[in-house]
Amino acid sequence: MGRDKAYYEAEELIEKARKEGATELSLRGIGLIELPESID
């Protein structure tokens, strides 16, 4: 399945949250149809 804009936006948000040491991250409302592999 091709990756869409929401997928790449989620990847960026996940990376930013990791760098900032966040313990929570909401990906609601960005239109994801699959979870990025970087969520582990």
7-23 pLDDT tens trace: 999 999 999 999 999 99
Place of tokens 């948000």: 13
**What value does the mean pLDDT take over residues 14-38?**
94
Confidence (pTM)? 0.82
pLDDT for the residue 2: 61
- Name the nearest CA neighbour of 39 among 6, 28, 18, 2: 18
